Structures are given as C-alpha cells and as structure tokens.
C-alpha cells in the first residue's frame, strides 16, 4: 500500500490555537533516541541532531519524556528538580536548542510534566519527612498507622505491594501510587498547587508549547483515606497493570479520579490559555476508560485532549473491536477530544502485541490517520520495530524486576532507536555499551535502510501523515456512518463541505463492498478498480484500505 503523494511542506510555527486538533505528535524517549556524547544514553543534543527525521515524517509536535533532574529510579518519572535538566541529558541551554530547532522546523514541543509525585530525593520531600512541624510537613500525603501498626488503608501501588511506605522519622506512612521512591504530592494543599503552576510557568516561559500531563487522574486522593472496594472479577482488566499484579483486584475510586481533580484541571486550563499552550492528559484507568476522557476534555475550561489506552491493550484490532472503541468514544466524549496511540514507552510495541505483518502495519497507521482525534507515534514505530527481548541481566525497569518472568517490564519497547544499518548500535551511540542493548535485528529496519525506498514502511508513514495534513476532514471533521460488515470497517469524515469515505479490511482475506453513490475521487492505490460510470462492487485485498473524497 502506498499513497504516492508528496509530503506537504512545513514551515515555522505560526499562531494557531487550534493546531492540536488532528495533530500528529511524535513521542521521544530521550534515553533511547540519540546519544551525542558517547556515554551510551540518549540526550537533548541528540534530539537536536535527529529532529530533521521527525520533520521528514510531517509530525506537528514532539512529546519529550522526562529529562528533569532525577535519581532515575523510574528513569525520569521520579523528579528531584522540576526546573533543571538531569546532567546525563545535558543542560537547560541544550533544551533551548531543542526548542529553537523544533520551532524552526515547524514542530511544536510538549514536555512530560510529572506532578502527581516527585522523587523522595526532592528537597520538598526531604524537608517534609524530617518531622511533622516543618513548613512542608503537609506537602505530601502522610497518615498515621492503624492501631496494629499496619498501613492506614488497603490502597495498592501500581508497581506492586502496598501504596504506603513507613517513615521512621515521622513515624507515619506516606502514600506512593508508584515506586516507594515516588511519594505522592498532596494536592489538597494550596501551596502544592501553586508550586505546580510555578513549574508550568517556568517551562512555558522557556518556550514550550504545552505539556503531556503524566498520571493526571492521580493528583488528588480521598481526604478521608477510605478503603477501595473489591472489583468484581468479571470487571478486572489488565490493560493498565499486568495480570500478575493484585492492583487489578480493587475498584480504584478513592486513590484516583477524585472530583477535585477536575477543579484543578480547569484552573490549569486558564494558565495554558494565557500562553496559547495545550495539554495532553494521561489518564490511566481501564476500569472507567473513555468516560474519563469525556470528563477531562469537555468544553473550553478543561484540557484539550487525553490519551486513549484502548489501542494499547492486547485485544487484536478487528473491525468489530475498532468500531466498538470508536462508538464508545463518540458516546463518552462527543464534545471532547481523544489522542490515539498504538505504542508508547509503557506498552509492548504493537507490531509484536498484535503480531502484525507488513501490510497490517501499513493499514493500521492509515487507519489511525483517518480516526477522529489526534495521534501519537512512538519513536521506532515508523520503522516497524518489534518488541525487543531483554535478558534479565540487562533489565533496567524496576517494574519488570518486580514481576519477572511473568511480566518482563517495559524495557522491550525502550531499546535504542535504529538509525544506521552499518554502524555500532545502529548509529544510536559510539559507546562500547548502551544503557539497554539494541533490539535483535533492529538494524535491519534502520532509518538508513528505509529512507530512500519508496515502498518502505517509513515512507508509508510519511505518506499517511501527509494525507491527514492535506485533508481537513481527516484532521478536524466529524466521524459519521460508522459500520462493520464482517472484516470491513467503514465510516465517513465530514468537515465544512469536505468529505472522505473510508473503508478498511482488517483481515487476512479479501472482502467485497459497494462503492458509494455519487461522484467520488479515489485516494487509495486501488483507484483503478473504481469505474467512472457509477457505484460498483469492489474487492478489497487483505489489510487494504479504500479512501474516497467527494468530487467538487
């Protein structure tokens, strides 16, 4: 499948507050993108070196996973200084260079803001944990033990075990929804909320165009610390936590998704509007799912869009499943906006998770470009990189170490980017050893291998993104007439007189459909089989799409 149309030229970033609708965002995991100084770890200067690749894809923005100062217990998601760069990634001046080059290439920059928790080495927590009377004593979530010395309630950590850790100094427990080295900030404290706004202003003043808000629905907790009820077995879902984790056994109604969260989001939106900035919220909750996206993105007083987890699950992308997800989001958030993703730094790469062949990979990115919403592409996805197999002795992820071998953690999707076929570590680094090894065979799919091949997956990604940018209906239009016929998924995208008919065959066998009445112009490569004298029965090959726009 090849759309065979050139990429539309980009330009410098211009003032368009609605740019995020239908945008394509490229996620960069900095540790694994490009190492510029030979220490085996990717860095900000490496991002500058490789931004031309992102521009060649046609992406509208980049989302950079955390690069703040951190002891790296969770590889940057444990922040010890929100307003400085971890030295392994470079300096603030290096970040400024990222902003400058990205904007020159017409690419906006989102940074991953981790506000729900900090590192236990952050000066705030060091002070808070010293005693119960200091100025920051209430900046984190502290609680007395039960009379028998056990934790104050039954809340669990996503990374396993109790969500409470004992402090010998305060003789109290503190809350951590993730690692024990990641204590939760107390957003019930107005000083904490003000500090969060100050952090956001620091980066907005530096020129960022917005934020990916990590663990957004975890900011507030139930102030009464009530126990979570048990979740009925038939509702248990392992798309957020692996099935080996007892976290799935609870209905998480008191440790996340509190009503105060939406009040904070509304205040945060006011700050974003001051700068013309946007936010992409990560809401990790398979129990409620798309309903939360409706809550967090409705109207103009909440954040612009939220990440959807539905296509990060192991469920195969059949026509019926994709249609169900689309119908659910249309019902749950008709006025909201979703950001779709097939892969990210926390999930097995979708090529391996869904066991996709070459044609299926091509169809899936075209499908994503045709869905209502925005889209996120994870580095290496455009190369078709499969999940890497990591030996236990090379494992870095604390999540994987905790549940090995039944759950091997997230390192398999975090291995270095493959740039060059005939270079050490596929051009990622000149070091003798990299922080994670290159995935086996990934060099065969390197950018240098695919760049000049018109029929490569990389160039198909470029074509699909270019199609989305050219078609107003695909970027911002409504999605109507959703239908499933066996393995065929179909719908129309409509926007201000522009209309696109989309049909996808999500199977290994050919399928037939009737072309629409009226005068249409084929967009897909099967254009030759559409007769000019009216509707016809069209045979769609396996894992193929047929796109038609109405003629003017």
Rounded CA gap, 233 and 241, in Å?
Answer: 15
Burial class (CB in 10 A: 0-12, 13-18, 19+), 333: buried
Residue in 60, 209, 214, 282 annotated catalytic = 214
Tell me the C-alpha to C-alpha distance, in Å, between residue 446 and each of 57, 210, 221, 226, 453: 15, 30, 45, 51, 12
Residue in 18, 274, 481, 521 annotated catalytic = 274
Rounded CA gap, 456 and 459, in Å?
Answer: 5
CB 505 within 8 A of CB 542: yes
CB 547 within 8 A of CB 500: yes
What b/e readout covers 400-414, taking b as 16+ CB neighbours within 10 angstroms?
bebbeeebbbbbbbb
What b/e readout covers 60-87, taking b as 16+ CB neighbours within 10 angstroms?
bbbbbbbbbbbebbbbbbbbbebeebbe
Nearest to 115 by CA among 88, 140, 143, 98: 140
Nearest to 125 by CA among 181, 177, 83: 181
Count the neighbouring beta carbons within 10 Å of the beta carbon of residue 191: 13
Count the neighbouring beta carbons within 10 Å of the beta carbon of residue 391: 8
Rounded CA gap, 351 and 320, in Å?
Answer: 20
Rounded CA gap, 502 and 55, in Å?
Answer: 27
Rounded CA gap, 534 and 49, in Å?
Answer: 51
Q: How many angstroms from the chain centroid is the CA of residue 55? A: 19
CB 425 within 8 A of CB 434: yes
Nearest to 220 by CA among 171, 272, 257, 182: 257
Catalytic residue status for 443? no
Residue whose token pair is 């060091």: 126
Q: Cite the DSSP H helix spans in 298-452.
A: 319-332, 350-353, 358-370, 398-403, 447-450
Rounded CA gap, 97 and 92, in Å?
Answer: 9
Rounded CA gap, 223 and 225, in Å?
Answer: 5
CB 441 within 8 A of CB 464: no
List residues bridging with 174 in a β-sheet: 142, 165
| Largest Cα–Cα separation, the chain | 82
Virtual CA dihedral for 311, 414, 82, 12, nearest 10 degrees?
A: -70
Tell me if residue 375 falls in helix, strand or coil. Answer: strand
Rounded CA gap, 451 and 442, in Å?
Answer: 15
Q: Which residues are catalytic?
A: 214, 274
């Amino acid at each position: 499948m090849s759309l065979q149309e050139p990429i539309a030229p980009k330009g410098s970033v211009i003032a368009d507050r609605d740019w995020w609708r239908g945008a394509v965002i490229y996620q960069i995991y900095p540790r694994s993108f490009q190492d510029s100084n030979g220490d085996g770890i990717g860095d900000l200067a490496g991002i500058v070196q490789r931004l031309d690749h992102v521009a060649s894809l046609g992406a509208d923005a980049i989302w950079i996973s955390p690069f703040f100062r951190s002891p790296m217990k969770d590889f940057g998601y444990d922040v010890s200084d929100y307003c400085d760069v971890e030295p392994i990634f470079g300096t603030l001046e290096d970040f400024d260079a990222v902003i400058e080059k990205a904007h020159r290439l017409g690419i906006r920059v989102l940074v991953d803001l981790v506000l729900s928790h900090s590192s236990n080495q952050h000066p705030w927590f060091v002070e808070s944990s010293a005693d119960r009377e200091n100025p920051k004593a209430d900046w984190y979530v502290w609680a007395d033990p039960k009379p028998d010395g056990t934790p104050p309630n039954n809340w669990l950590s996503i990374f396993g075990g109790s969500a409470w850790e004992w402090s010998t100094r305060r003789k109290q427990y503190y809350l951590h929804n993730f690692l024990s080295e990641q204590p939760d900030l107390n957003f019930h404290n107005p000083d904490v909320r003000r500090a969060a706004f100050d952090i956001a202003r620091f980066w907005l003043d530096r020129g960022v165009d917005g934020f990916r808000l990590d663990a957004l629905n975890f900011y507030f907790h139930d102030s009464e610390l009530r126990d979570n009820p048990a979740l009925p077995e038939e509702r248990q879902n392992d798309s957020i936590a692996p099935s080996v984790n007892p976290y799935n056994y609870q209905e998480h109604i008191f440790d996340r998704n509190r009503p105060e969260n939406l009040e904070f989001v509304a205040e945060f939106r006011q700050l974003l509007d001051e700068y013309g900035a946007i936010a992409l919220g990560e809401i990790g909750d398979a129990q409620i799912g798309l309903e939360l996206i409706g809550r967090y993105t409705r109207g103009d007083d909440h954040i612009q869009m939220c990440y959807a987890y539905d296509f990060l699950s192991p469920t195969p992308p059949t026509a019926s499943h994709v249609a169900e997800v689309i119908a659910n989001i249309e019902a749950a958030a008709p006025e909201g906006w979703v950001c779709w993703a097939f892969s990210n730094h926390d999930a097995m790469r979708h090529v391996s998770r869904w066991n996709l062949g070459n044609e299926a990979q091509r169809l899936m990115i075209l499908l994503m470009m045709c869905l209502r919403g925005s889209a996120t592409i994870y580095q290496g996805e455009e190369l078709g990189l499969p999940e890497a197999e990591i030996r236990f002795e090379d494992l870095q992820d604390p999540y994987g170490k905790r549940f090995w071998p039944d759950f091997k953690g997230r390192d398999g999707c975090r291995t270095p980017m493959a740039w060059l076929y005939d270079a050490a570590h596929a051009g990622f680094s000149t070091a003798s050893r990299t922080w994670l090894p290159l995935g086996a065979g990934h060099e065969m799919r390197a950018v240098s291998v695919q760049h000049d091949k018109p029929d490569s997956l990389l160039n198909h990604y470029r074509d699909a993104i270019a199609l989305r940018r050219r078609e107003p209906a695909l970027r911002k239009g409504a999605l109507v007439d959703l239908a499933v016929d066996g393995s065929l998924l179909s719908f129309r995208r409509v926007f201000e007189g522009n209309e696109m008919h989309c049909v996808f065959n999500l199977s290994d066998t050919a399928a037939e459909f009737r072309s629409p009445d009226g005068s249409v112009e084929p967009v897909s490569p099967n254009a030759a089989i559409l007769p000019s004298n009216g509707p016809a029965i069209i045979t769609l090959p396996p894992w193929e799409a047929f796109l038609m726009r109405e003629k003017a």
